[in-house]
Structure 1
Amino acid sequence: MKNALITGATKGMGRAITIALAKQGINVAICSRNAHELEAFKAELHEIAPQIKVVTAVADCSIKAELINFAEFTEKNMGFVGIIVNNVGMYRHLPILEDDENSFEKQVNTNLMPAYELYRFFGKKMVSAGEGHIFNICSVASLQPIAVAGVYSVTKYALLGLNKVMKLEMEPHGVKVTAIIPGSTYTDSWKGMEVDPNQMVLPEDIAEAITMILNMSVGANVDEMIIKPAGGQL
């Protein structure tokens, strides 16, 4: 049975991805800053897939020490982690010149640092095993910056760059790396705005893409996948 670690797993895309992996019979390790949300989701996952193991830990992924504690706790309770989904992220709808003083550090520590640190923690073990798959949830802002979300665009550009470096390092060792690049997706990032879910990508679309990629043959990899609303970006 495979083991997966998903960051930012209790809401939005992370939640949909975790449910999809659970339905595939994959053990999942999840964390959240909210213990109540975490326990409720754990119970839901056991109803969906009673046979899987669900490892949970209260942690803020933007704090390196808590992230590493979560990684260590996961490995101790699961063993080899062969799937990592770097999903945790935050979006701020502000140009750089109007943004808060601490916004750059906060968004780097949320949108970029967890993927880097988890790669450092699990990467050599994947190399030794000769298998594994890392998914980095990027954004169309990784390809074309969004002027009204300046720091977010910078961090998502960097995440796609990190994905490319990971892929080059891992290719000789049988470890797969995939960048998922969603456009306008119906998540909490749109809270407070009037939007039509039928005109957007749904979290379940992202989850289905990941399970489809995981189920490909051992010799195949999707380097990057762009998923946009059919009618164009909102």
Structure 2
Amino acid sequence: MSNVALVTGASRGIGREIAESLASRGYRLILVARNLERLREAAQSLTKRHGVDVSLVAVDLRAFDDVATAISKEIAAMGRLDVLVNSAGVFHFGTSGMAINEMDDLLMVNVKAMHNICRVCLDALKQSNCAHIFNISSIAGVEGFAPIGGYAASKFAVVGYGQSLAQELISEGVKVTTLCPDIVDTDMSVGSGLLSNQMIAPSDIGKAVEFVLSLSDCAIVDQMTIKCRTVIERNGLR
């Protein structure tokens, strides 16, 4: 029976590209996102291109109980879970002036929803002999930026959670990697001021996941920061 991966935020952007990479490796997939139509489009493409089984969970990750019920059902139907990718996230501008409801939304989706999904998936992951959790943070999870302090706070939390989870689970055979990319060419990067060819390609994040999964059992990548060449060059000219 082939391995199974669950990917949140899988209907577009980084999550969609990671799903593509995992499908190319033969993983059966559980795709999670809010938009059922986009999920169906992704599933049809992945099945056509790679011939893998794909199941869909269309749910708002803020609905914790509904998420737990739906995901548990799909894991049971697949019979196993080997890789979990927490890619879903939201973005709001603002630091000291950010509205409380926007900060709540950042923490609800980027942190609490991720934790909820980890809790739901852990029992199945612990039964795998190659279990791996990937949490998608951001460059803003390792470095603060004045205009996006609320977002940075949520992504710093993802990094800290991942580091702690990795230590907790390593003795049970579950690896944890936190990916911290700079500006990636997705809908969330609108307003960055960069052209598409100046940003990190979403497929690069999929390749990063493939690289980590290709390593030997004794190798652990606890955190990976992927910087944007354009940003480095621009900062160097200041």
TM-score class normalised by the smaller sequence: over 0.9
Secondary structure of the equivalent of 1:9? coil
- Per the alignment, residue 89 of structure 1 pairs with 89
Deviations 1:151-208 (A, max 9, x none): 1111111110100111000111221110111011111112355421222111100000
Secondary structure of the equivalent of 1:232? helix
* Cα shift at 1:73: 2.3
Distance in 1 between residues matched to 2:212 and 2:121, nearest whole Å: 20
- Per the alignment, residue 77 of structure 1 pairs with 77
Contact 1:86 / 1:114 at 8 angstroms: preserved in 2?
no
* Cα shift at 1:69: 2.5
Question: Aligned-pair RMSD on alpha carbons?
Answer: 1.6
Identical residues among aligned pairs (%): 28
Could you say if the C-alpha distance between residues 129 and 49 of structure 1 is closer, same or farther in structure 2, counting changes exceeding 3 Å?
Answer: closer
User: How does the TM-score come out when normalised to structure 1?
Assistant: 0.93
Distance in 1 between residues matched to 2:78 and 2:220, nearest whole Å: 25
User: How does the TM-score come out when normalised to structure 2?
Assistant: 0.91
Secondary structure of the equivalent of 1:231? helix
After TM superposition, the structure 1 stretch with the greater mean CA deviation from structure 2, 224-233 or 180-189, is: 224-233
After TM superposition, the structure 1 stretch with the greater mean CA deviation from structure 2, 224-233 or 147-156, is: 224-233
Q: Structure 1: state its 5+ residue gaps.
A: none
- Per the alignment, residue 126 of structure 2 pairs with 127
Could you say if the C-alpha distance between residues 168 and 49 of structure 1 is closer, same or farther in structure 2, counting changes exceeding 3 Å?
Answer: same
- Amino acid in the other structure paired with 1:68: A
- Per the alignment, residue 18 of structure 1 pairs with 19
* Cα shift at 1:122: 2.0
* Cα shift at 1:129: 4.3
Deviations 1:65-98 (A, max 9, x none): 2321232122122121110001001111222x32
- Amino acid in the other structure paired with 2:71: A
* Cα shift at 1:113: 1.3
- Per the alignment, residue 196 of structure 1 pairs with 195
- Per the alignment, residue 37 of structure 1 pairs with 38
Distance in 1 between residues matched to 2:221 and 2:178, nearest whole Å: 8
Distance in 1 between residues matched to 2:128 and 2:182, nearest whole Å: 34
* Cα shift at 1:32: 2.1
Distance in 1 between residues matched to 2:18 and 2:27, nearest whole Å: 11
* Cα shift at 1:223: 1.0
Contact 2:83 / 2:125 at 8 angstroms: preserved in 1?
no
Listed as ranges, the matches of 1:126-145 within 5 Å are: 126-129=125-128, 131-145=130-144
* Cα shift at 1:24: 0.8
Contact 1:29 / 1:54 at 8 angstroms: preserved in 2?
yes
Count of matched residue pairs: 232
Q: Structure 2: state its 5+ residue gaps.
A: none
Contact 1:130 / 1:173 at 8 angstroms: preserved in 2?
no
* Cα shift at 1:131: 3.9
Distance in 1 between residues matched to 2:223 and 2:27, nearest whole Å: 23
Contact 1:6 / 1:28 at 8 angstroms: preserved in 2?
yes
Deviations 1:91-122 (A, max 9, x none): 11222x32223112211111011221122122
Distance in 2 between residues matched to 1:105 and 1:225, nearest whole Å: 27
Secondary structure of the equivalent of 1:102? helix
Deviations 1:52-73 (A, max 9, x none): 1101021011221232123212
Contact 2:72 / 2:121 at 8 angstroms: preserved in 1?
no
Could you say if the C-alpha distance between residues 64 and 209 of structure 1 is closer, same or farther in structure 2, counting changes exceeding 3 Å?
Answer: same
Distance in 2 between residues matched to 1:190 and 1:129, nearest whole Å: 35
- Per the alignment, residue 66 of structure 1 pairs with 66
